Amino acid sequence: MTTSSRISPPTVRRIAHRTTGHRQGPITRLMSPGDIGELVKPFVFLDYFEFPSAVTSGLPVHPHSGIATHTTLLQGSVDYADSTGKSGTLSPRSIEWMQAGGGVWHGGGPSGSESLRGFQLWIALPPALELASAFSDYVDDGSVPREGDTRLLLGTYREMESPIPYREPVTYLSVELRDGDRWTYYPSHGHDVAWLAVATGGLRVDGQSLHREMAVFEEGSAPIELVAQGDVEFVIASATKHPFPLVTGHYSVHTSQDALARGEAGYATVAKTMKLKPGRPIDA
């Protein structure tokens, strides 16, 4: 059984909002900058994807600016390429980190015949990073820090630190529990926003049962207490709230209209010289 060794204070975090999202085929949109993203920024966008093995076409090459995209695979493999010059294959339970900054293009597609499942998260970048040079990092499962059934996807947690060089105050975890396990999440000091999303199985949280959905917690510093209902797989995250507005474009989130214009101009400039072809799928 997975448990926490710390003693809970008398209060625990309450659920402020929950959603099953909007499903379009194999993708469930759980959060966007115009809705829940305002509640838990810097986390501004979350998709849960579940592609059957029959899927063969890739995702078209597309741009971003002002954000970082974090893709974690729970099952399956993906071929990837980006305009920084990196390409390869993500294996099961590995991570793609794309810090778009002032403009980047990337795409991908299933590799092999296994079903594909995972989460893609967007994180709004602060002014110091939102127009910086694009940077990508690909972390295989063996390099992901873990403690029992808890894997650190980004940031820091207890004594663990992600190999992804992103130093903003954030924690993002992937957790697997067995039926009946109790688990308590203690956010780091200053992390006043928190959420979780259930991929498989169920959780009992704040007297409510969660299945294939996202829960946003009230702002504060109290811990989050969970009980597994069946075997469960979920992600949970916390951070210091992003103090800047969310100014959005088609593929971008910035802190101001000026930064948005510069970011979109940046990825348009990248498109003129990169070897990837915009709009063309990267096939398996």
283 within a domain of the structure (yes/no): no
Q: Is the preceding omega at residue 26 within 30 degrees of 0, hence cis?
A: no
279 within a domain of the structure (yes/no): no
73 within a domain of the structure (yes/no): yes
Tell me what the mean pLDDT of segment 36-63 comes to: 86
With a cut of 70, say whether residue 256 has pLDDT above it: yes
**Domain of 178?**
15-273
- Total domains, the chain: 1
Least confident of 56-65, 70-79, 112-121, 206-215: 56-65
- Dist. CA 103–CA 122, nearest whole Å: 15
pTM: 0.93
**Which pLDDT does position 163 carry in this prediction?**
97
**Which pLDDT does position 82 carry in this prediction?**
94
**Which pLDDT does position 8 carry in this prediction?**
43
Residue 218 tokens, joined: 């009230």
223 within a domain of the structure (yes/no): yes
Percentage of the chain beyond pLDDT 70 is 93
pLDDT digits (tens, 9 = 90+) for 166-210: 999 999 999 999 999 999 999 999 999 999 999 999 999 999 999
281 within a domain of the structure (yes/no): no
Q: Which of 61, 59, 63, 67 is nearest to 33 (CA)?
A: 67
4 within a domain of the structure (yes/no): no
**Which pLDDT does position 108 carry in this prediction?**
84
Q: What is the CATH number of the domain that holds 58?
A: 2.60.120.10
**pLDDT confidence bin for 2, thresholds 50/70/90:** very low
- Dist. CA 110–CA 92, nearest whole Å: 11
**pLDDT confidence bin for 54, thresholds 50/70/90:** low
206 within a domain of the structure (yes/no): yes
238 within a domain of the structure (yes/no): yes
Note the helical H segments in the chain. 37-40, 257-273
